[in-house]
Amino acid sequence: MADSDMAWARLDPTYVPPEIDTSVPSVARVYDAILGGKDNFAVDRAVADAAIAAMGDGGNGARLNRAALGRAVRYMADRGVTQFLDLGSGLPTAQNTHQIAQAINPAARVVYVDNDPSVSVHGQALLTGDDSTVVVLDDVRSPDALLARPEVAGFLDFGQPIGLILNAVIHHLLDEEDPRAIVARYRDALAPGSYLQLTHFCDESAEARANSEVLTRSLGRGQVRSRAEIETFFDGFDLVAPGLVFLPYWRPDVPVEDPPPAGSMLMLVGVAKKA
Ligand SMILES: C[S@@+](CC[C@H](N)C(=O)[O-])C[C@H]1O[C@@H](n2cnc3c(N)ncnc32)[C@H](O)[C@@H]1O
């Protein structure tokens, strides 16, 4: 946000910067609405309400996705990872990557990237005065340009391990955009000892198959993929235990209920290490 926009936002909380289009829903803001956030507009809430009604999970899938991200960031930070590149990071909500990582290591550096201007506007406001975290407006589908940006290449040390986070973003990329090659390009830029964390809508469960049209239509462009397809995003990495599993089953903090709550079987999550 420009300084003048920041000043206006302080004077008038209803002020909307010109780069934010409130007439069409955005994936980031719909997801924020599903999570119960406040950085969304009527057009986003309408889609969020329709998605929650159709999925019948009360938004639980989105909350489980955030929780899986949190456990994975803790896992990586506990193993000495001090730098994170969070692509398709979404709007700031409770327990963001930098807060989790910096609670373990205050010196941890985090770069957030999202192609939705709402994210950079809110992110920059949240991060005022934080020198260890930056938010960048860019597109995951252009890895070379993104990796060359000074806020990325000049802020993270690619000679040292990095935690690459692709939480619920690759399913917004279409097959014709070759998401596998895009993820491989990021992998090739990482030093040995780096990690990839990824969550992705999977067609494996009856719950996910029933909801696949709703998921892709309501949350914007995207594709629900098979386990085998999702596994290929981890090529060149070694999945850590327990492997590629539905969200609640990745290193849960408390035992998972049996049967698991609605929304549990929508996305697979994996964390993998680059040898
Ligand atoms: C479902 S949200 C997930 C947010 C966050 N990663 C999480 O899991 O809580 C997907 C995010 O990916 C972003 N996104 C979608 N396509 C993108 C692209 N091509 N480049 C960058 N960000 C993208 C959206 O704007 C949105 O913020």
pLDDT of residue 4: 47
pTM reported for the whole predicted model: 0.94
182-192 per-position pLDDT tens digit: 999 999 999 99
In tens, the pLDDT along 3-58 reads 545 544 555 667 778 889 998 899 999 999 999 999 999 999 998 998 888 788 99
The amino acid occupying position 168 is A
**Cα 11-17-19 angle, rounded to 5 deg:** 170
**By the 8 A CB rule, do 164 and 190 touch?**
yes
Residue 269 predicted with pLDDT over 80: yes
Q: 115 CB under 6 A from ligand 1? A: yes
Using the mean position of ligand 1's atoms as its centre, give its distance from the Cα of residue 36 in Å: 17
215: pLDDT strictly greater than 80: no
Residue 25 C-alpha to ligand 1 middle, in angstroms? Answer: 13
Rg of the chain, C-alpha, whole Å? 18
pLDDT of residue 8: 47
Ligand 1 contact, 190 CB (< 6 A): no
Average pLDDT rounded to a whole number, residues 121-126: 89
- Dihedral through CA 98, CA 111, CA 225, CA 77, nearest 10? -40
61 CA to centre of ligand 1 in angstroms: 15
pLDDT of residue 124: 87
In this predicted structure, what is the pLDDT of residue 221?
78
In whole angstroms, give the CA distance from residue 196 to residue 66.
Answer: 16
> In whole numbers, what is the pLDDT of the chain averaged over residues?
92
Cβ atoms of 144 and 103 closer than 8 Å: no
| Coil, strand or helix at 35 | coil
What is the per-residue pLDDT for 19? 84
CA of 66 to the centre of ligand 1 (A): 12
| Ligand 1 centroid, distance to 258 Cα (angstroms) | 30
Pocket probe for ligand 1: among 21, 26, 27, the residue whose CB has the most ligand atoms within 8 Å is 27
Structure tokens at 177: 């955009």
Ligand 1 near 89 CB (within 6 A): yes
Instruction: Give the residue whose CA is nearest to atom 9 of ligand 1.
Output: 66
H-type alpha helices, the chain: 3-11, 27-34, 42-55, 60-78, 97-104, 117-126, 143-148, 150-153, 179-189, 206-218, 227-231
Residues 109, 83 contacting (CB under 8 angstroms): yes
In 3D space, the residue among 95, 189, 91, 179 whose CA is nearest the CA of residue 135 turns out to be 91
